[in-house]
């Protein structure tokens, strides 16, 4: 079996179909209780600023006003809401550099006046991000619906993360998804259209031929757009030809693995790929969690059923993951062994890229079966540490470095005066144990304070609604919605 071709197809299908069909707005409460307070002071907190120097600031006072950090260790203005930071740790909000965000979807045949047939409650879509301290996401299956979600957050109707959005350009069969191009001229026009529609990024996908891929990357550079994506299959045996100026970020470690699908995957190959990336200034999103989750469910669906976070997944998706799971349908000892080999090699790649000085950013491919938005980023951080990053390096991969690649480092990514208050307040020091990123006391999302009680309430309401609707939403009936 061509496992890489199968994996690419299924991941794409999940990203654009399965995870696009999340929370219906039916019977959903509309009042999210978004605060009016705009002046806060966190007292006696230990700040891990995640700047280049990253000097710890102990027992500090942080004042936040009108969404921004007003001061550090200065006087507290009258009227500020006081947050006790004693014994707690403040880090920048986390950034997930690879997600596929739920958005309204048409399950039926297209027609001139047909809109979406399945609608999502945007707050429910965003709740698991905010509950986990993820305050910025990079959407890699961009559609116009994502602009609508971003606007709801900007208007203050929804507490959610900042959204960077990249639409996809693919090649070959138009049914592969995204914008399909098979010539250089069509590729350039697709990029120009993407620029005109207001995007800042382009995602290149697996079925692009060499000519089209190179045209996409070149035209994107001319249009001032950054390129993220896959290494197209056409470059197998000549991977170096894909590494051209403006190919800025490889979206998965397995993009390298598939280039040597039938060859040994050793430290030597990992070092070669790291050197290619270093010389081209191409960064990497290792995306370790996706393959780990795929491997687990290929072996047994108990890995899905036993997930504590499953209750926060829409019941339609729960049913899909448990009863129509395409990964598990193709389970075999050979497939499991193959996935195991990828997991080992991808760890070697993390080490090789670290040693070569290639920047790595944390991303999860949230949207793949078993990868739950928000929660998965903590899994990814732990896998990165297990692979060889220090706790600090893992945190950098989810804070400062992503903000730099996205070109938003002037406003977020570190804790500094005049930056926006995207902050994560923790009960324990993540520099001592990366698992401490899960011990969340509260979150500031663009200056909106969400304390532990509010987080628990939002998650509880989401889980309750999902559970109450399990019998209503079945994957086999999706065309009826």
Residue 1 has a pLDDT of 47
* pLDDT (tens place) for every residue of the chain, 481 residues total: 455 554 554 455 444 444 444 445 555 544 455 667 899 999 999 999 999 999 999 999 999 999 999 999 999 999 999 999 999 999 999 999 999 998 888 888 878 988 888 888 999 999 999 999 999 999 999 999 999 999 999 999 999 999 999 999 999 988 765 699 999 999 999 999 999 999 999 999 999 999 999 999 999 999 999 999 999 999 999 999 999 999 999 999 999 999 999 888 999 999 999 999 999 999 999 999 999 999 999 999 999 999 999 999 999 999 999 999 999 998 999 999 999 999 999 999 999 999 999 999 999 999 889 999 999 999 999 999 999 999 999 999 999 999 999 999 999 999 999 999 999 999 999 999 999 999 999 999 999 999 999 999 999 999 999 999 999 989 888 888 7
Instruction: Tell me how far the alpha carbon of residue 173 is from its chain's centroid.
Output: 27
The answer to whether 300 touches 325, Cβ cutoff 8 Å, is no
Helices then strands, counting H and E runs in the chain, come out as: 16, 17
Of the candidates 240, 270, 242, which has an alpha carbon nearest to the alpha carbon of residue 254? Answer: 270
SS3 84: strand
- pLDDT at residue 178 in the model: 66
What pLDDT shows up at residue 36? 75
- Name the burial class of residue 343, with classes exposed (0-12), middle (13-18) and buried (19+) by CB atoms within 10 angstroms of its CB: middle
Cα(142)–Cα(98) distance, integer angstroms: 11
Q: List the end-to-end C-alpha distance of the chain, in Å, as a whole number.
A: 35
pLDDT confidence of residue 17: 45
Using an 8 Å Cβ cutoff, are 410 and 422 in contact? no
Quote the longest CA-to-CA distance of the chain: 67
pLDDT at 123: 96
Q: What is the DSSP string of 262-277?
A: TS---HHHHHHHHHHH
In 48-183, beta strands by DSSP E: 57-65, 68-72, 81-84, 89-92, 94-99, 134-139, 162-165, 168-170, 179-180
Question: What's this model's pTM, rounded to 2 decimal places?
Answer: 0.94
Report the C-alpha gap between 424 and 430 in whole angstroms. 11
The residue count of the chain comes to 481
Give the number of other CB atoms < 10 A from CB of residue 278: 15
DSSP letters along 62-83, please? Answer: EEEETTEEEEESSPPPTTPEEE
Q: What is the pLDDT of residue 478?
A: 85
């Amino acid at each position: 079996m061509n496992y890489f071709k199968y994996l690419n197809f299924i991941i794409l299908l999940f990203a654009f179909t399965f995870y696009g069909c999340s929370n219906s707005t039916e019977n959903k409460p509309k009042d999210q209780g978004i605060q009016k307070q705009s002046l806060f002071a966190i007292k006696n907190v230990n700040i891990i600023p995640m700047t280049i120097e990253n000097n710890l600031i102990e027992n500090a006072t942080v004042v936040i006003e009108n969404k921004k950090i007003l001061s550090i260790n200065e006087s507290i203005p009258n009227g500020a809401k006081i947050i006790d930071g004693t014994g707690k740790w403040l880090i920048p909000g986390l950034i997930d550099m690879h997600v596929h965000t739920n958005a309204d979807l048409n399950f039926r045949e297209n027609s001139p006046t047909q809109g979406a047939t399945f609608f999502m409650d945007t707050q429910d879509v965003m709740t698991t991000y905010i509950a986990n301290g993820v305050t910025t996401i990079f959407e890699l299956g961009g559609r116009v619906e994502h602009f609508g979600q971003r606007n709801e957050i900007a208007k203050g109707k929804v507490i959610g993360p900042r959204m960077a959005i990249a639409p996809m350009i693919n090649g070959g069969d138009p049914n592969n998804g995204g914008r399909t191009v098979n010539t250089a001229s069509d590729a350039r026009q697709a990029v120009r259209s993407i620029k005109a529609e207001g995007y800042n990024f382009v995602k290149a996908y697996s079925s692009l031929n060499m000519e089209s891929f190179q045209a996409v990357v070149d035209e994107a550079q001319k249009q001032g757009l950054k390129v993220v994506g896959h290494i197209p299959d056409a470059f197998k045996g000549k991977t170096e030809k894909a590494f051209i100026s403006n190919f800025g970020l490889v979206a998965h470690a397995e993009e390298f693995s598939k280039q040597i699908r039938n060859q040994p995957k050793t430290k030597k190959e990992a070092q070669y790929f790291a050197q290619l990336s270093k010389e081209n200034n191409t960064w990497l999103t290792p995306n370790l969690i996706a393959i780990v989750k795929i491997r687990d469910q290929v072996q047994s669906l108990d890995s899905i059923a036993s997930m504590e976070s499953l209750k926060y997944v829409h019941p339609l998706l729960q049913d899909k993951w448990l009863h129509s799971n395409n990964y598990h349908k193709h389970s075999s000892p050979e497939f499991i062994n193959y996935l195991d080999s990828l997991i080992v090699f991808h760890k070697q790649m993390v080490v090789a890229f670290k040693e070569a000085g290639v920047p790595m950013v944390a991303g999860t491919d949230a949207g793949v079966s078993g990868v739950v938005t928000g929660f998965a980023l903590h899994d990814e951080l732990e896998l990165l540490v297990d692979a060889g990053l220090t706790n600090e390096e893992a945190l950098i991969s989810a804070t400062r470095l992503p903000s730099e690649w996205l070109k938003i480092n002037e406003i977020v990514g570190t804790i500094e005066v005049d930056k926006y208050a995207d902050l994560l307040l923790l009960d324990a020091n993540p520099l001592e144990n990366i698992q401490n990123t899960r011990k969340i006391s509260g979150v500031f999302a663009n200056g909106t304070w969400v304390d532990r009680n509010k987080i628990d309430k939002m998650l509880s309401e989401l889980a309750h609604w999902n559970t109450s609707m399990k019998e209503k939403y079945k994957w086999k009936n999706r065309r009826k919605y």
